[in-house]
Amino acid sequence: MMGLESKSEIGFRGILPFVSTLVLILVMQLQYRLFFLDNLFPYLSLAAVYYWCIFKPRLMPVSAVFLLGLLQDIISGGPLGMMALLLLIVRIFVVRQSSRFLEREFLFNWLVFIMVALVFGLATWATASVYIKETQNLWNALGQSIFTIAVFPVVVLLLGWVRNMLVTENR
């Protein structure tokens, strides 16, 4: 079963989900020197939190999601608590529904992710607009969501390799 974690995962390798998500957050903050990416860089942290909350929820606890969101807020210079709050809501939703995702194929998870990413984009736009006290460009947020949906298979592929490291040699 993909969703079950064995005891041998607990330990050093247990931090791999956290570390891999942190790496993706750092990747998000690099300068890519491309005009269109300046406004539309995908939410890689969302894809990573979604993935780990489906397959290894115990290794991506609420405290870890909060810390990752907070780090993203600090490194990106956004309002402190915004990403932490939105990623926590995504975790709560996914963990409650994860039993329905586990037995399904990748395509089903991707379809659900489309919905999650679009709602996440809308929530980011709404929170930013309230924080700045001025309505922001909605299309930028939706553009980011669409890019995130597009890169989701690549993130799944990369995190799949990381997840394979979690499978014990003894199993």
Partner 1 sequence: MKELRHRFSSGFFITLALALLIFGSKNTSVVDDISSKTSDIFVPILDIASRPFEAAGDFMEWTRQVAIVFSENKRLISENEVLKLAQIKASQLAIDNQRLKKLLNVGEGQVNTIAAARVVSDSDSPFFKSVLINRGTNDGVEKGYAVINEDGIVGRTINLGSSSSRVLLATDINSRIPVKLAAGGINMILEGDNSPYPILAFLPFDKKLAIGDLILTSGYGMVFPPDLPVGQVVEITAEGIRIKLSAKLYNLNYVSIVGYEIIRSPVVENQENTTKEPN
Question: Smallest distance, Å, CB 54 to partner 1?
Answer: 17
Long-range contacts of 23-27 (CB under 8 A, 24+ apart): 24/48, 24/155, 25/68, 25/71, 25/72, 25/75, 26/75
Rounded Cα gap, residues 94 and 85, in angstroms:
14
Which one, 90 or 112, has the nearer CB to partner 1?
Answer: 90
Which one, 98 or 110, has the nearer CB to partner 1?
Answer: 98
Question: Smallest distance, Å, CB 131 to partner 1?
Answer: 7
Which one, 89 or 115, has the nearer CB to partner 1?
Answer: 89
Site residues, partner 1 (CB under 8 A): 26-35, 37-41, 61-63, 65-66, 69-71, 74-82, 84-85, 88-89, 92, 124-125, 127-128, 131-132, 134, 136-137, 140-141, 143-144
Question: Smallest distance, Å, CB 57 to partner 1?
Answer: 10
Question: Smallest distance, Å, CB 10 to partner 1?
Answer: 16
Which one, 66 or 110, has the nearer CB to partner 1?
Answer: 66
Query: 17 burial class (0-12, 13-18, 19+ CB within 10 angstroms)?
Result: buried
Which one, 112 or 128, has the nearer CB to partner 1?
Answer: 128
Residue type, position 160, single letter: G
With residue 52 as reference, give the H or E element that holds it. Answer: helix 44-55
Does residue 86 contact residue 119 with C-beta atoms inside 8 Å?
no
Instruction: Work out the number of other CB atoms within 10 angstroms of the CB of residue 59.
Output: 20
Cα 168 vs. chain centroid, distance in angstroms? 25
Question: Smallest distance, Å, CB 18 to partner 1?
Answer: 15
